[in-house]
Structure 1
């Protein structure tokens, strides 16, 4: 019998769609802005991979939405070891971890973002294997699966007894207050032992500028030239330094860690949330200009939840302009690009080869694929 400890942060990811850049201390504000909790849904996607193996697992978890709710909905065998407050807090995580560990668990599974990873890291024994279900806004740490379903597939491999290497992975987090002001202050909080399968587990985000200024200028010039060829289009400008180089070249103010809207080289709106962004562009011709996260390869689902499935479908795959330096692509070491939109059907639709603008009149073809789809 494989024993799993389960902790879900039900508030994880709340701040993403409403452009709050995180959820730490912002839950009430996010809910007031219309944010919808998604941690339970993403946890269900991961744990659904265990339904066929439920006779071989026992889950030790926390009451209510911190674990019990999902286990009950999926019909998985579980035992509640800790009663959480309502609403739950980070303190519940700190108190629950030792109680779950005391059950002799083989692995601690948790859902959240970097703040949750920090809380787990502070309490978990050094040699206990952990694995994260990505549910937060900012996920810089290397302890998370590339998608919820990918996390579940890796977990199923462990339950079936398939050999999986174990490696140490970094727990990273940033100062959310500074993050909301466009400054990235990342800090390492420790390491945890995880299943070391690179196809299923994301790498630590590569921080800082990864290319010479000239390369970014070349990419920006290519994008601006294309903009001039599509003068009737609205341009959704995603987050990141590569897209920021385009905005700087245009002479426009840029939300480095948010999403802006440009029309005919004029800035129409800054730091839009998911609802506001869709209201702006619905029924309009538009292009989506985005980059990927170096080291991880994620296009959607890491810090840009303002780009909702509804919006991405409205834009259309063929209208996505993906920008990246070749050094950023090389940092993936041959791994495909990832998408984690919180809509598995859309993730599959986005799969396949995609053109990446890597310079002036220079582009390459790169594959987009998630592990759960590659395995089918």
Structure 2
């Protein structure tokens, strides 16, 4: 047996053992064949999400304006995401100001398409994009999450197993491929999280990177940079916000997402190595965007922001890097930042987010700091979206 064959066998054996271990881990976390389910929310959490007081929420029940919800033997009410959405519709029907409880698009508003990206892996793109998608959905927005990373981490967090569920078909690749693409609606999946649909990813997405050079030679239309925007037009009426979780490389998939976007969020870990990498990323992005712009791509961003990720407030060098970035880019650096938190990493052990786990599962202060950080980031993103709609 040659050394190369031995290496192949070793890699394959490692892959199979890892897949089996991950399968075992998931079976311990979730029942066999079960899909993820979103937890219920307490009355306090529900009132906070709805933007009303807990006493007003109780009055809505007392007056019979909203349906009964799950109630414990002790009389505590718990609300599903579906309950919250139904209450939003009830409150919106009598609101003095349109959009108070359903803040999404109105007539004339364009769908907001946000790309979370960076050249470097581990910068928190997936963590940022899924927490933003979930927070916006809980606030009443209709969200489509589009996973364009062949590693499919976002798809996995929604409870799918890409290596089994979407091995040969069913990913966003099927909608943007050059040979016999399918309508995007056919591959969009409803998720366990009310308000969020998913266009999944899988390893087949890598084929888009391989096929595009030949498609450019053959002048296949629409070209790669317009394919994502073209397929999104088929479904954009169904959503207020569309989020791209981009791969950690500046390839054809990322460029296609950028050319479909109205807003860009560049995630940055505040250390000088990551900032130096980002410098290269920005230069390459500008050069490539020049090329596709000259080829006819329409790129009009409502906003571009740098999102500080995995921030440790007591880390002096990190503080210096953040100050350095703010001096360079001013208001393009988001005011809020995502803290580095064990709550985020611990939730990830069971493929969950901080919004999905119960507060009682963590040390109270740890959970509260993580939630506050995430909410501040997502409120700032929501403000950018509303401002793009002229509100």
- Normalised by the length of structure 1, the TM-score is 0.29
Q: Using CA pairs under 8 Å that are at least 6 residues apart, name the structure with larger relative contact order, 1 or 2.
A: 2
| Structure (1 or 2) with the greater helix fraction | 2
Greater Rg by CA: 2
Bigger proportion of residues as strand? 1
